A and B are shown apart, each in its own frame.
Chain A
Amino acid sequence: MIVNFLGKVKKFIVFVIFVLIGVYLEKIGFFDYITDPYEYPYILRLLKQHVVMVAVSMSLATITGVVVGIILTRPKFSKFSGIVMYIVGLGQTIPSLAVLALSLSVLGIGFKPAVFALYIYSVLPIARNTLAGILSVPPEIKDAAKGTGLSNMRILFEIEIPYSMSVIITGFRVALVINIGTAALGYIIGAGGLGELIFTGISLMDTKMLLAGAIPATLLALFGDFLCELASFILVPKGLRTSSKTN
């Protein structure tokens, strides 16, 4: 009875907060701004630029990261895995803005340097998690697979990759969220994207403009995070779906 009542109170408070946010946004003219016939195509164009930047760099990074991760687990190359992982760890320590700035100083201004920086930065977590995931496959499972006469290729695709799928997806998820956040900084090296609205809004102290960039960028990141959760639900084999909710 009391719990039920508290639940209702909580829902009511959340509802009130949303209404207050809505009233605030209306007051500063946010809705007028984003529905303005001259403004919304511009916002949509920046959103598209942002998504393209993320999609291109992420797809290249996923391919490279997974392939590098798999190659490093093959017996021939496994002796390099330690040094490569050390470099990857060092690379992840470097701040995203520094990666963008260095990419700018080498490649100049524009869309390509931004995509390159995002790509380099996203490969690292994906490669690391692919390697860690495949190394975590218990040797007895691989032995059993070998015993049934599977070739190395089939062991890779039927045992090792499905087994490490949830770890690989976690790496992809980390990379994606960082990528979307860093793509918002792409504006400062001339790549456009939603950062254009945020940075210009901050410079002009134009609240509705900066929120028109900040809110979609945040929603995009949350949406990407949600997609990864969905992907791990679909792609991870049934037998391995433990409670991965709490990370």
Chain B
Amino acid sequence: MNSLIKYISENYSNIIFLTWEHILIVLIALFFAIMIGVPIGIFITKYENLAKKVINIANIFMTIPSIALFGIMLPLLSPFNLGLGKVPAVIALVLYSQLPIIRNTYVAIKNVNPAIVDAAKGTGLSRWRLLKEIEAPLAIPVIIAGVRTASVMSIGITAIAAYIGAGGLGVLIDQGISRYYTEMVVTGAIMVSILAIFVDGFMAALERISTPKGVILGRKLGK
């Protein structure tokens, strides 16, 4: 335990740098994943057959072990000199994040009660205001729940991406194991876990805040 504290106090600048690198990779990937996933999720609510196919394909991507996906992408991307490093890591994270984001967007939009939409139309809301004041507030908490799953998963996969040279906290685990330096391994593992738990809590709070008060009240009354 003492040696662990000694290691951390001697290397804290490196640890902070790696943590920041880790967060950065996840943030960039989530940005692209949301930009791609949410429009697809909204689009497929109009086409039932397509929805099943898209979700099934995203499901298959989830099944592929992450290190295997890195391995498969390596020869595909190396002609462009992008086989190793942050680019394949971000691409893999975007692919893995599609399932939770697409599925939750799809479910969120599908679950907006048509009676509420009808009532809103009846009061004469325009299409834009209907989206802004009824559909979006009801759907956004569910979409955020999908982003939450995706972000926690991304933090875990980024740790593995250290093995293809993407950097991040996985570097501590990778190098610590090679050097048989237990303090380094434990620091990496604990930091990554704390990061994941912290982000999970943060997203859960965001989910709660974004839920309209009426919906929470409705749930309570429903019980």
Contacts and interface: CB of A to CB of B under 8 A. Distances in A.
A95 interface: yes
Contacts of B196: 93-95, 98
A101 B185 contact: yes
Given A202-B70, A210-B74, A97 B65 contact: no
A136 to B, nearest CB: 15
Interface string B182-195: 10011011101100
Interface string B140-158: 0000000000001001110
A102 B192 CA distance: 11
B72 A28 contact: no
B186 A218 contact: no
B221 interface: no
Given A96-B156, A98-B192, A211-B71, A105 B182 contact: yes
Contact of B185 (A90, A94, A105, A184): A105
Contacts of B189: 97-99, 101-102, 105
A94 B191 CA distance: 10
Given A177-B62, A199-B163, A246-B52, A94 B197 contact: yes
A93 B74 contact: no
Interface string A92-129: 01111111011011000000000000000000000000
Given A95-B159, A97-B170, A218 B188 contact: no
**Size band of the A side of the interface?**
35 or more
Q: Which of B52, B67, B69, B157 lies at the interface centre, i.e. has the most chain A CB atoms within 10 A of its CB? A: B67
24 contacts: A93-B152, A93-B196, A93-B197, A94-B193, A95-B196, A96-B156, A97-B173, A98-B173, A101-B185, A104-B185, A105-B185, A105-B186, A177-B63, A181-B67, A184-B68, A188-B177, A198-B67, A198-B68, A202-B164, A210-B74, A217-B68, A218-B68, A225-B63, A247-B55
Given A94-B193, A102-B190, 12 more contacts: A93-B200, A95-B157, A97-B156, A97-B159, A101-B176, A102-B189, A105-B185, A184-B67, A188-B177, A198-B68, A221-B64, A245-B52
Interface of A: 28, 90, 93-99, 101-102, 104-105, 177, 180-182, 184-185, 188-189, 195, 198-199, 201-202, 205, 207, 210-211, 213-215, 217-218, 221-222, 225, 245-247
- For the complex of A and B, the 4 pairs showing the least CB-CB separation, nearest first, are A95-B156, A181-B65, A214-B71, A214-B68
